[in-house]
Structure 1
Amino acid sequence: MSEHLGLTLIDTHAGGDVSRIVTGGIAPLPGNTVRAQMEYLQTHADGLRQLLLFEPYGIPEMSVDLIVPACHPEAAAGYIIMEVMGYPIYSGSNTICTATALLKSGIVPMHEGEQTFKLESPAGLVNIRAQNKNGQVESITIQGLPTYIAAHRQQVTVEGLGKVTYSIAYSGGFYALVDAAELGFELTLEEEALLAATAHKIVEALRALRDDHHPDLGHVGPLPFLHFMGPEEKSGHRTVSRSATYVHPGVICRSTTGTGTAARLALMAYENRLQVGDELETVSLRNTRFVGTCTGFSDTGTYAGVESTITGKAQLLARSEIIVDPKEPLLKDRDFLSLLSPSVVG
C-alpha cells in the first residue's frame, strides 16, 4: 500500500453539458464566504481548475463544481464553479448537476417527493426544489439570479459579417443575445462549428467595444457568452425556441444553459412580452431542453430586473477517483498541491 493524492468525483450532465463534481480530497479553503474561497482558488491555486479541465485528466468542454462546506447558516452545502473561461459566480446547468450529485451521494439526504434546500454559490444563496421519485431525482428547479438588459438592439461591426444587431443581458454573466435567423442560421447540429466561429468573432468585437459593469457586483470580467435565439412558438403561457450558447472558442454548449435561458427571459420582459408565470422552453442543437419561468420583477441598481426559475434534469455518468502524481509532466501549474488530502492506494 502507498500514499497518494486523490480527488473523489461524480460526473454528471444536464442537457448534455458535463459537470464534474468534486466531492472529496480538498482541504478547507481560506475565506468566510464561498465567494471568498472562489477568489482564493482563482488567485492562489488555479492549477486545480486546470488539472480537472485539461489533459490528461479532463477536456475544456466540461465544467467542474467543487463541493465545499457552506459558510451561510441556511445553506446545506457550498459549491465553486470552474470552467475553461474561469470562475463563473453562477451557472444554471452546474447548479442542477451539483444539487443532483449532492442528493445522490447522500451529502444532502434525499427525501421522497418534493424537497427544498439551499446551496451557497459564489453569487450567494440559491433555492433548490427537487422532485424525487423512487430514489431518483426526476427534476431540479433552481432560483436564477436577478437578470436585466444592459443594451437593447444595438449594432457592432464584425469582420466578415458586417453590422450585427445584438442585445446584452446579465444573468450570472454577461450575454450577447443575437437573432440566429438574421445571421443565416437555422440552429441545426450541422451548424455547430460555424456557430462557434461566428460567435467568437462577435464576442471579440463586443469586447473591444464594451466593458459592462454590474451595478452591485462591479466588474465581473469581459463579456464571455453569446446566445443565438431561434424563432419563437407561443402556446398559452409557454414559448418554445431553439437556442445555442457559445462559451469559449470552439465550444457551443450541449444544453441551452440556465443562464442563457434566463437572459432570454430578461429580453422578453424588456420588450413587454413576459408576465409573471410565463415560461420559456429553450431547445438545444441536440434537442435537450430547459424551462425558465418568470417569477417576478425587481430593480437591479438602475435596471429593471427579472426574477426566474430554471428547471432541468441531470444524469449521473460515473463515480471515480483521480490519482494525482505531483510529478505528472502535463500539469500546467502545481500551486494547488498543498490543498490535496493524502489517501491510500494499493
Structure 2
Amino acid sequence: MRWSRVVNVVKCHVGGEINNVVTGGIGDVPGATVFDKMKHFREHRDDLRQLLLHEPRGSVTQCVNFVVPATDPEAQMGYVIAESTEYPAMSGSNTMCVATALLETGMIPMVEPITDIVLEAPAGLIRIRCTCENGKVTSVEFENQPAFAYEIGVPLELDGYGTLTVDVAWGGMAYVLADADQLGLKLQPDEAREICDLGQKLKTAAAEQIPAVHPTNPEFAGITQTEFVGPLSRTDGVLTARNAVVVSPGRLDRSPCGTGTSARLAVLKAKGLIEVGEKFVHESVIGSRFESRIDRLTKVGTYDAVVPRVSGQAFITELSQVGLDPADPFPTGYTLSDTWPTGN
C-alpha cells in the first residue's frame, strides 16, 4: 500500500451531528490569523475538504475541522471549520467536538473537574469551559462571539406561500428565522425532507430580498442558513423550544445548532422574551438538546448584541487515518443528487 496523503481524523458527534476533527497530516497553513488560514483553505486547499467530505470517504451529513496553530497568544489551538459547501466563521457543534477531541486525545492537558481553554476560530477567540470526569469530557460550554438581530419581523415574499414574517440574525453565521407554525411544520423527523426543501427556498428568497452584512467584517455577507423555530414553552420553569436548521446544500442539522441557538437568543432578547442569565433549552428534530443563556449584553457596530453561552456533550466515535491512493480516480470525491441536493 502506498498513499500520497494521510490525514489523522478523530471522528465525533454532538447531538447526533457528525463533526470530525483532523489532528494531523495537513502540513503548514499560512495566515496571520485563523481567519486568514480559513481563506487559505478556501482558496488553495479546498481539495482537503472535498477529500474528507465528498463521497466515497465522506457524506453530506458531515463536517470537518482542521486543527491549526493559534495565532493569538491567548489561545492554545486554532481550528478551521469546513462544511458541505462552505467555511463558516463559527460553529457551536463543531467547537464542542474540537474541544472534546483535543482534551480526550491529550493534545491539550485535561484538568478535572474543570478545564478552561481558549481556541481561535475564524470568528475570533472562543472561551470554553469543559467539565471532565475520569478522563472524559462530560460537558462543553462555550462563550460565542456576540450575536445580534439584523431584522425583526420583516416581510419576505416566498413563492407559493405569499408574504411571510421572518427575523434575520447573526449567531456566527447569518440566519433567516421563520416560525414553523406559519408554514405548517411540526419539526418532526418524518418532515426532514420537506423542511430541507422549504429551507433552501426560504434561504434563497431571504438572501435576495434582505441584505445582511456583518458590521465589523464585511466578508461575512449574505444569509446562508435557515432556522425554523418552534413555539416557546416552559418545562419546570425553564424556557424550552424546538428548532430545525437547514444548512447548505440543503440538509438538516441533527443537533440544535450552536450558532442557530445563538441567533435565536439574539432574536428572543430583541423581542423581550428572555432575560440575561435565563436558561434556554433548545431541542433538535431528533430530540437532542443544548442548554444556553445570554451571558451579557454588548454592541456590534450599531447593533444591540448578546454574548451567548451554549453547552452540550460531544462523543468520540472513532480514531482513523484517511488515505489517498495516487491511482484513486476520485481524489476529491464526487457528489450525487440522490443525497447531495446539488450533486455533480
Name the TM-score, length of structure 1 as normaliser. 0.93
Please give the secondary structure, in 2, of the residue aligned with 1:231. coil
In structure 2, the partner of 1:44 is: 44
Contact kept in structure 2, 1:140 and 1:313, CA below 8 Å? yes
Deviation string 1:109-158 (CA, Å, 9 cap, x unpaired) is: 11110110100111111101000011111000001110111011111111
Contact kept in structure 1, 2:3 and 2:326, CA below 8 Å? no
**Compared with structure 1, are the counterparts of its residues 189 and 329 closer, same or farther at alpha carbon in structure 2 (3 Å cutoff)?**
same
Q: Which letter does structure 2 place at the counterpart of 1:100?
A: T
- Partners of 1:236 and 1:147 lie apart in 2 by 27
**Compared with structure 1, are the counterparts of its residues 2 and 328 closer, same or farther at alpha carbon in structure 2 (3 Å cutoff)?**
closer
Contact kept in structure 2, 1:237 and 1:277, CA below 8 Å? no
Runs of 4+ in 1 over 3 A off after TM superposition: 1-4
Measured after TM superposition, the shift of residue 32 of structure 1 is 1.9
Contact kept in structure 1, 2:124 and 2:145, CA below 8 Å? no
Q: Greater shift after overlay, 192-201 or 218-227?
A: 218-227
**Higher RCO (Cα < 8 Å, 6 or more apart):** 1
Q: Which letter does structure 2 place at the counterpart of 1:287?
A: G
Measured after TM superposition, the shift of residue 236 of structure 1 is 7.1
Contact kept in structure 1, 2:196 and 2:246, CA below 8 Å? yes
In structure 2, the partner of 1:266 is: 266
In structure 1, the partner of 2:26 is: 26
In structure 2, the partner of 1:170 is: 170
In the TM superposition, 1:282-297 aligns within 5 A as 282-297=282-297
**Compared with structure 1, are the counterparts of its residues 240 and 133 closer, same or farther at alpha carbon in structure 2 (3 Å cutoff)?**
same
Q: Which letter does structure 2 place at the counterpart of 1:297?
A: L
Q: In percent, how many aligned pairs have the same letter? A: 35
In the TM superposition, 1:171-320 aligns within 5 A as 171-235=171-235, 238-320=238-320
**Compared with structure 1, are the counterparts of its residues 29 and 186 closer, same or farther at alpha carbon in structure 2 (3 Å cutoff)?**
same
In structure 1, the partner of 2:336 is: none
- Partners of 2:11 and 2:176 lie apart in 1 by 29
Measured after TM superposition, the shift of residue 57 of structure 1 is 1.1
Measured after TM superposition, the shift of residue 88 of structure 1 is 0.3
In structure 1, the partner of 2:116 is: 116
- Partners of 2:250 and 2:35 lie apart in 1 by 29
Q: Which letter does structure 2 place at the counterpart of 1:322?
A: V
Q: Which letter does structure 1 place at the counterpart of 2:260?
A: G
> How large is the Cα RMSD of the aligned pairs?
1.4
In structure 2, the partner of 1:127 is: 127
Measured after TM superposition, the shift of residue 207 of structure 1 is 1.6
Measured after TM superposition, the shift of residue 2 of structure 1 is 5.0
- Partners of 2:5 and 2:213 lie apart in 1 by 40
Unaligned runs of 5+ in 1: 334-346
Deviation string 1:8-51 (CA, Å, 9 cap, x unpaired) is: 00000011110110000111111121111111111111111111
Q: Which letter does structure 2 place at the counterpart of 1:132?
A: C
Unaligned runs of 5+ in 2: 334-344
Q: Which letter does structure 2 place at the counterpart of 1:181?
A: D
Measured after TM superposition, the shift of residue 224 of structure 1 is 1.0
Measured after TM superposition, the shift of residue 235 of structure 1 is 5.0
